[in-house]
Structure 1
């Protein structure tokens, strides 16, 4: 089989309802978006990392930051995120698309490699792989990695009709048994109670404390973060009360 171009697309926008502008919030001396991009770039499986923001004026700041840092950035539909992904992947001639989000500063390149590796190794081949599904999660919230073929993404783009399917990109691929072949990657232990994404001020405080512990570096692993929060449970308590959004909720 010829080599396939594997592209990570990081969705990023300034208009969060719970924490506006969060993706440019400072974490250890760098904007959160930079933390996510630079950690994702360390994944050995990826041929490229792209930031996909919206055409809204408020997201000019995202494009400016990407230009300043040398990141590839595309702009697309503000609410039809599936279209934003499809257009970005099509223009980049991606064969495999990895979906990441800009509010996950602890995303681990090893987890990206693990999920993509499972996707590529699946026999028979699969259309979609992830390390979480809405009702089945073992990794901490904030390590979410979803992978699909461009062909599957294109079919979803063509067929998905519900607003939540357009907003959350991948539901059409996994919610109907038999529609696509899917594979779920699980952690050896259940860490689904841990919250390492950033949707609220409490989430941001935890992220800042974790980065401060590691001296502002961003090459730490999720295993190191896990060891830290297990050793210092007061850290996990900072945002333990925050409810995770579900499909249909606004980010």
Structure 2
């Protein structure tokens, strides 16, 4: 039996970018722009009910609006630097009872729909508000886990995030984990790799083009296949291996905050997530 489609995905995207302006519309193999590939990957999910693209109000973002609507998806607009407000507009207008809210990181061109579906199943089975990957020093490879929350969690994020937390939805949650019922996912070993699978520089785009160009299967390349290619061809990982991460789970918070997470983790259940990829 297929799972019910109950995920509202909110893909926050904008043309402006400090490191790589226009990256959302950068062409991959002369076909879809990067954002188109991200939306296509979301469409593979069995849990997906609706995809909304949330952009700043500026007309500079018109190419994003045109792409999203051409692919059959809804667009909402809001403040450029208040991403929480943009997401809240999407949730207010398009969420229905029972929806889980998925914050889509549109600069992750290999996000894994299998990981999303696995998290949905686990959250429903356990009755959790959200899940976190079981890590103590680094994040899993980008795309192997999802920012997926119940409406209760999203309502708290939207209403309680401080001004300095509103550009990065989820920062408030990381500082208030103990308020919610959540669990930890022990992801498969292949998900823990030091590879850089996001888009912020021309070298990131070069790697993205090579990986998409190498794939010959049906549909978009699964994340596990991408990781296997990098395992087998270390020179590929070197293309953008020099690019330094500016923000992330373990770079955006203080040592004391991270230690508080780990103390809270000790009180939580762990579930094995066999993401096929």
TM-score range, shorter chain: 0.7 to 0.9
* CA 1:200–1:133: 2 relative to 1, 3 Å: farther
Q: Which moved more, 1:178-187 or 1:34-43?
A: 178-187
> Which contiguous aligned blocks of 4+ residues in structure 1 show a shift greater than 6 angstroms?
none
In the alignment, structure 1 residue 92 sits paired with structure 2 residue 97: no
For the pair 1:146 / 2:147, whether they are aligned, the reply is yes
Which moves more between the two structures, 179-188 or 44-53?
Answer: 179-188
Q: Deviations over 1:200-244 (max 9, x none)?
A: 111111000001101596422112111111111111111111111
1:143 and 1:196 in contact (8 A); partners too:
no
1:129 match: 131
Contact 1:115 1:131 survives alignment (8 Å):
no
Specify whether residues 4 and 231 from structure 1 end up closer, same or farther in structure 2 by C-alpha distance, changes over 3 A only: closer
Once the two structures are superposed, the pairs formed by residues 26-45 of structure 1 within 5 Å of their partners are: 26-28=27-29, 29-45=31-47
**What residue number does 1:47 align with?**
49
User: Under a length normalisation based on structure 2, what TM-score does the superposition of the two structures give?
Assistant: 0.80
Report the 3-state secondary structure (helix = DSSP H, G, I; strand = E; otherwise coil) of the residue aligned with 2:149: strand
> Which deviations, in whole Å up to 9, do the C-alpha atoms of 1:163-216 show, x marking residues without a partner?
1x2111112223224122233323221524111111111111100000110159
CA contact (8 A) 1:131 1:145 kept: no
RMSD (Å) for aligned C-alpha atoms: 2.3
Is 183-192 or 39-48 further displaced after alignment?
183-192
Provide the C-alpha distance between the structure 2 equivalents of 1:208 and 1:216, rounded to a whole number of angstroms: 15
Structure 1 SS opposite 2:142 = coil
TM-score by length of 1: 0.88
Residues 1:67 and 2:38 are matched in the alignment: no
- Residue of structure 1 in register with 2:170 after alignment: 170
In our comparison, the structure showing a higher alpha carbon Rg is 2
Runs of at least 5 residues in structure 2 that lack an aligned partner in the other structure: 253-277
